[in-house]
Chain A
Amino acid sequence: MKTKPEKQRDLAALEREIRPIWQNNQPAAGPSDQTKDRIRTAIRHAAAQNRQKNHAERASASGNGIFFRWDKIWYATLAAAAAILLLLGTMRVWHLPGTQPDLHAELAELEQDISQELGELEILIWDALAELEHETTSNAGLLQALALQVILWED
């Protein structure tokens, strides 16, 4: 009883014997010229269709180029807007506690500024009041002098 590899080796050997006999004794048979012509015509027709199809596809692709570009710009803009919104949202969620000290600092600074401004304003008011008082005093002295003169005049 032969093993499977032995059988395959025998088959390969037998095939090697028969193959040259077969190949050296092939009939001079082939399709008729009419059949060959028909096949060639069908091939040329199909190739022409392929050319047209490829041409149409290329034309379509180039014609739609602007649309595709605008489309891309539009989508890019949308994507950028979405990204910004997402970033802002993320900042709001993640950084709000962190931003509070900054706000406090700003508020403190503002408060200090306001205090300073108020201090300056107070000084100005006091100056103005002092000046007014001085003027008032001066005017009172003047009135007093006038009154004295009037008295003297009457005398």
Chain B
Amino acid sequence: MQGYLGNRDERKGTTVKSMDEYCQIQQFREGNAEALCALVDAHQASLFRFILHLTQGRDDADEIFQEVWIKALQALPRYEHRQRFASWLFKIAHRVIIDRSRRKKYATSFDDGIENLDLPHTAEHSTPFHRLANQELGRTIHAAVHQLPAEQREVFLLRMEADLSFKEIAALQKTSINTALARMSYALEKLRARLGQAYREIT
């Protein structure tokens, strides 16, 4: 249970991945651009989805995504191996989103963008019914996530997209681990309730 709460380095492969990422950063510091480009590629999808679900539409997410990487580039000389790269990167994203929402005076919302999300087809071996049902379930879950309060939504996304520990999430949100756990618990309960019939059909 300790691993579930925070000590993620105990998980197999996490330390190795973390070491690889640190090596890539060291290579970049020595002047190898491709090493960092590979790191951008590795975190691109999850970071963009995280931003997209906490901002107003694709254009906004695009701008924030760019700003996050520019800030990460500027802060990279100060990056230390003690922190996981994903944790460090999503922390920057969290700050950029908050700064931007203060500047633009909007609450993080999902009212825009969700309607146009291009949900992928599921596994090819699934039946047309299952594909359709899955797509429906996908739309439902994304809509349900959009309706979550911002803090709960962020905890959910940090768990799902960045695979952060509750300890890391608590540090990022400047709150206690218990609060982070409670937010996740509320979020998951609400999602399960909102998925309702669609979830039961697909499972």
Contacts and interface: CB of A to CB of B under 8 A. Distances in A.
A28 interface: yes
Interface string A18-54: 1101111111111110011011101110111011001
A8 B2 CA distance: 10
Contacts of A44: 33
Interface in B170-186: 181, 184-185
Main secondary structure, interface of A, reads: helix
B118 A27 contact: yes
Nearest to B163: A19
B31 interface: yes
Interface in A97-145: none
A15 B1 CA distance: 14
B164 interface: no
Interface residues of B, number: 52
A28 B73 CA distance: 26
B100 interface: no
Interface residues of A, number: 38
A43 B30 contact: no
A48 B188 contact: no
A63 interface: no
A150 interface: no
Contact of A8 (B1, B37, B202): B1
Interface of B: 1, 4-5, 28-33, 36-37, 40, 44-45, 48-49, 52, 58, 61-63, 65-66, 69-70, 73, 76, 117-120, 122-123, 134-135, 137-139, 141-142, 159-160, 181, 184-185, 188-189, 191-192, 195, 199, 202
Interface of A: 5, 7-12, 14-15, 17-19, 21-32, 35-36, 38-40, 42-44, 46-48, 50-51, 54
